[in-house]
Amino acid sequence: MFSLGDLYQQVIIDHTKSPRNFGKLDPCNHDAEGYNPLCGDQLHIYLQINADNIIEAIKFEGQGCSISTASASLMTEALKGKPVAEFERLFAAFHHMATADMEEAPDEDALGKLAVLSGVKEFPSRIKCATLCWHTLKAAIEDKAEPVRTE
Amino acid sequence: MTFDLASIRADFPILHQEIYGKPLVYLDNAATTQKPQIVIDTLRHYYEKDNANIHRGVHTLSERATKDYEATRDTIRSFFHAASTKEVIFTRGTTDSINLVASAWGSANVQAGDEILISHMEHHSNIVPWQMLCERSGATLKVIPMNEAGELDLETYANLLSERTKLVGIVHMSNALGTINPIATMIAQAHAVGAKVLIDGAQAAAHVPVDMQALDIDFYVTSAHKMYGPTGVGVLIAKQAILEAMPPYQGGGDMILMVTFEKTQYNDLPHKFEAGTPNIAGVIGFGAAIKYIQSIGFEAIEKREKELLAYATKLAQAFTGLRQIGTAKDKACVLSFVLDGVHPHDLGTILDREGVAIRAGHHCAMPVMQFYKVPATARASFSIYNTEAEVDALFAALTKARDMFA
Ligand SMILES: Cc1ncc(COP(=O)(O)O)c(C=O)c1O
């Protein structure tokens, strides 16, 4: 059985208390809003993607639980300065980790620091908190006008 | 009647289990209450011995099912002091009851230029059906404001009332705040301008007595599942004259006397509003739940629940970083709060691992969250079977959560 400590690892608590890349990005050429109606989490992600398809800058704002805040914070850290293709690879890996079988260990080579969030799969009602920022970022990259909703 | 906590706890089989190796502490009673053995046995007995469709069979089972179903109608009539069983309409629950009134009564009585008045602390189920009615009819929805404590502003209420007001919808007891609203005076004021009043009793009905006639209530709605009864069943209790004048809500079987392709003659009250095969088992189980409440008695229930809320409130006030949401003078059974540095949703998860079940979220009352400028609250809600030791377990778990994020 996963314990609470597996979900709320120190890295997650740290990112909750001092989220990285937090705030509005101005100027930005992509942004989107995400919303989790179940818990009222609200997220706004801002991006600056350059002509070479590199995520030059990425920031987020909003309010949410520890899992959604830490997940967004870790995501922005992982993607800043990376090509958009890297987002696609990481999103797939992250999504797999969050929904995989309990026994399957997270692929730390593929995920790096993001693997600290693997505990969410033991907490079905919290998976959406961890994935909200990823869906929102996808919408930002694709310039979706409608806010993302997890339900 | 004396209040025997140990024997009440023994009546609820679900309470006696462990969650993650800790005793279950069920503090999500405002969402739904647990069911006593007598309700579970009644449902089981119905399906094992009496199951049949009602009002149509001449065989023994149908007669038994009909008798028990109709007996519940009388149990409810007497519980709420309604004038007649014709005033007791079974529905799927509070939400269904409000939609019935907004549709059937609303379509016949509300027009462009009219106003519907609801309060700031309504559950979405007492907001959205009225918004839909206003959209259909061109009427306007107005809102009675509240103060920081979570009490309605009665002065503004008086000013909002006018001959344009067709209906006032008020929650008897708020699920998000615990506030008990002063419905007696509010009803009298509404009647003085000719408005009808709908009271949302989803939370209140298990905690405070209701007298339809003394309070002169036009519409009272509630759900069985918040009163120790089954889910998916509830009631609309309304004055006979109002119901007689209303068009039916849904058409179908049981609500008719005579059908030809040219014209249908509707059935008498209460059947006019009960189209189709109802939740027969649920209604009969509802009856058992009401009798269970009666066997304890409101005097004992209110005294005990006040005691427990006072105990919890004292611990809450002493808890560093905790801000209570909802501190009305008249309130019951609900401790809604936010904790510095810990999001309610995280609290919900952390407490669950300690065996403590609470609700985290907007409690289907988003305007209340907007008022207090919080995205969500954590809510512990109490019932007759909760103990001081369980309140202690709640606060021990909260301490753990606070320490985790310290
Ligand atoms: C005050 C209030 N009104 C209405 C409802 C809706 O009840 P139901 O979902 O049983 O229709 C609830 C239940 O959450 C409630 O607490």
- Alpha-carbon distance of B223 to B225, in angstroms, equals 6
Last residue of a domain, one of B294, B318, B346: B294
Within a domain: B49: yes
Proportion of chain B above pLDDT 70, given as a percent: 100
Q: Residue B107 above 80 pLDDT? A: yes
Residue linked to tokens 């809600």: B381
* Domain CATH number, residue B145: 3.40.640.10
Best B336, B346, B362, B404 residue to mutate vs chain A (most A CBs within 10 Å): B346
For the beta carbon of residue A27, count every other beta carbon within 10 angstroms: 7
* pLDDT confidence band for B254 (50 / 70 / 90): confident
User: Which residues does chain B have within 8 Å of residue A7's beta carbon, measured at their own beta carbons?
Assistant: 349
Please indicate, yes or no, whether residues B198 and B56 belong to a single structural domain of this protein: yes
- Lowest model confidence (mean pLDDT) among A29-43, B49-63, B375-389, B392-406: A29-43
pLDDT at position A147: 80
Averaged pLDDT of chain A: 91
Within a domain: A43: yes
pLDDT at position A2: 65
Q: Residue B18 above 80 pLDDT? A: yes
What is the number of structural domains in chain A? 1
Name the residue at shortest CA distance from atom 14 of ligand 1.
B31
Please indicate, yes or no, whether residues B338 and B211 belong to a single structural domain of this protein: no
Q: What is the dihedral of CA B33, B34, B37, B41, to 10 degrees?
A: 80
- Alpha-carbon distance of B354 to B21, in angstroms, equals 8
Helix (H, G, I), strand (E, B) or coil at A102: coil
Please indicate, yes or no, whether residues B100 and B20 belong to a single structural domain of this protein: no
Please indicate, yes or no, whether residues B141 and B18 belong to a single structural domain of this protein: no
pLDDT at position B312: 98
* pLDDT confidence band for A1 (50 / 70 / 90): low
Q: Residue B97 above 80 pLDDT? A: yes
pLDDT at position A39: 72
Please indicate, yes or no, whether residues B383 and B281 belong to a single structural domain of this protein: no
Q: What confidence tens digit (pLDDT) does each residue in B259-310 have?
A: 999 999 999 999 999 999 999 999 999 999 999 999 999 999 999 999 999 9
Within a domain: A24: yes
* Ligand 1 centroid distance, CA of B32 (Å): 9
CB contact under 8 Å between B346 and A67, yes or no, is yes
What is the number of structural domains in chain B? 2
Within a domain: B35: no
pTM of the predicted model as reported, rounded to 2 decimal places: 0.94
Averaged pLDDT of chain B: 97
Q: What confidence tens digit (pLDDT) does each residue in A57-66 have?
A: 999 999 999 9
User: Which residues does chain B have within 8 Å of residue A40's beta carbon, measured at their own beta carbons?
Assistant: 361-362, 369, 375-376
Question: Cα dist. B297→A73, B192, B286 in Å?
Answer: 53, 33, 16
Please indicate, yes or no, whether residues B26 and B48 belong to a single structural domain of this protein: no
Q: What confidence tens digit (pLDDT) does each residue in B130-182 have?
A: 999 999 999 999 999 999 999 999 999 999 999 999 999 999 999 999 999 99
Please indicate, yes or no, whether residues B155 and B263 belong to a single structural domain of this protein: yes
Q: Residue A137 above 60 pLDDT? A: yes
Q: Give every CB contact of residue A109 below 8 A, 6+ residues apart in sequence.
A: none
Please indicate, yes or no, whether residues B270 and B341 belong to a single structural domain of this protein: no
Say whether B134 is catalytic. Answer: no
Within a domain: B45: yes
Q: Within 6 Å (CB) of ligand 1, which residues are found? A: B 93-95, 123, 125-126, 171, 175, 200, 202-203, 223, 364
Q: What is the ipTM of this complex?
A: 0.90
Q: Residue B122 above 80 pLDDT? A: yes
- Alpha-carbon distance of A146 to B330, in angstroms, equals 43
Question: Cα dist. A1→A7, B351, B352, B398, B406 in Å?
Answer: 11, 16, 14, 22, 25
- Boundaries of domain holding B377: 5-30+298-405
> A119 and A97 in contact (C-beta within 8 Å)?
no
- Lowest model confidence (mean pLDDT) among A83-92, A116-125, B313-322, B346-355: A116-125
Please indicate, yes or no, whether residues B311 and B286 belong to a single structural domain of this protein: no
pLDDT at position B308: 98
Average pLDDT over residues B89-118: 98
* pLDDT confidence band for B395 (50 / 70 / 90): very high
Mutate which of B119, B223, B334, B368 to test ligand 1's pocket (most atoms within 8 Å of Cβ)? Answer: B223
Within a domain: A151: no
Q: What confidence tens digit (pLDDT) does each residue in A71-129 have?
A: 999 999 999 999 999 999 999 999 999 988 888 888 899 999 999 999 898 888 889 99
> Which one of the listed residues B15, B364, B366, B369 is annotated catalytic?
B364
* Domain CATH number, residue B15: 3.90.1150.10
Within a domain: B382: yes
Q: What confidence tens digit (pLDDT) does each residue in B60-77 have?
A: 999 999 999 999 999 999
Question: Cα dist. A108→A71, A93, A97, B252, B338 in Å?
Answer: 16, 10, 10, 60, 35
Atom of ligand 1 nearest to the CA of B223: 10
Last residue of a domain, one of B294, B327, B347: B294
Please indicate, yes or no, whether residues B13 and B124 belong to a single structural domain of this protein: no
- Alpha-carbon distance of B46 to B51, in angstroms, equals 6
- Boundaries of domain holding A33: 4-146
Q: Residue B389 above 70 pLDDT? A: yes
Atom of ligand 1 nearest to the CA of B122: 1
The answer to whether residue B362 neighbours chain A at the CB level (below 8 Å) is yes
Within a domain: B104: yes
First vs last C-alpha separation in chain B:
47
Q: How far is residue B383 CA from its own chain's centroid?
A: 14
* pLDDT confidence band for A151 (50 / 70 / 90): low
pLDDT at position B406: 87
Please indicate, yes or no, whether residues B328 and B341 belong to a single structural domain of this protein: yes
pLDDT at position B319: 98
- Alpha-carbon distance of B378 to B342, in angstroms, equals 10
Q: Which of B20, B346, B362 lies at the smallest CB-CB distance from A65?
A: B346
Please indicate, yes or no, whether residues B61 and B181 belong to a single structural domain of this protein: yes
Q: Is the backbone peptide bond immediately before A27 cis, with ω within 30 degrees of 0?
A: yes
Last residue of a domain, one of B253, B270, B294: B294
Within a domain: A126: yes
Within a domain: A12: yes
- Alpha-carbon distance of A85 to A76, in angstroms, equals 15
* Domain CATH number, residue A29: 3.90.1010.10
Within a domain: A89: yes
Q: Is the backbone peptide bond immediately before B270 cis, with ω within 30 degrees of 0?
A: yes
CB contact under 8 Å between B361 and A125, yes or no, is no
pLDDT at position A47: 96
pLDDT at position B1: 56
Alpha-helix runs per DSSP H in B46-127: 60-79, 94-100, 106-109
Fill in the amino acid letter for B42: T
